[in-house]
Amino acid sequence: MVDHFHIVQLANAAVTEVRRRVTVQVRGRRGRKGNRLTRSAARMYGSQLDPMIDDLMALPKGIGVPILSAWNAKEDLLDLLALARTHRDRAIIADRLFRFYDRCAASGLPELEHLASTVQTWWPEILAFIQTGITNAGSEGTNRVIKTVARDAYGFRNPENQRLRTRCATTRRNRGFLNPA
């Protein structure tokens, strides 16, 4: 399984890379912070979404069109991942995947081609997430706790104490300490 958070993070990174690259190429300087581009359209109001698209279309073509293409490809990928909560029909999954790949190929942007190749590489794991709705987020969270505790325990002279501290931190829920009831 794949944690869809990481796929969304890769898509947002691709949009940011496109925005930075084309702004530097056209204007010779960095652009403004584009945090609206990393938000999902499904979580934006129309009063926020329409001005953002209008702003992108008002930019010079060398900047606005590639950024809008990258943002649309990201939204296509988010639509594909959203199927894990709604439809798991193979035809709908194939249609959304084709739409994502088609948009990436038609854009001609190297960042989107890289994103599409990453999705293709991880497709069996992504498909497993879409079909089952199960992610590896739990193991990712446990791994983060282990690394944090190990970082806090750095310098312990006894490795056994560090191991016990990590084990205590990762098994609190099973022992009932994190149970709000």
pLDDT of 177 strictly over 60: no
CA gap 18, 30 in Å, rounded: 12
Residues with Cβ within 8 Å of residue 86, at least 6 apart in sequence: none
Q: What is the CA radius of gyration of the chain?
A: 21
Q: What angle do CA 79, 128, 122 make, to 5 degrees?
A: 80
**Tens-digit pLDDT profile for residues 75-132:** 999 999 999 878 778 999 999 999 999 999 999 999 999 999 999 999 999 998 888 8
**Tens-digit pLDDT profile for residues 151-175:** 776 666 777 877 777 777 777 666 5
Note if the pTM is more than 0.85: no
According to the model, what pLDDT value does residue 54 have?
80
Residue spans per domain, the chain: 4-127, 137-170
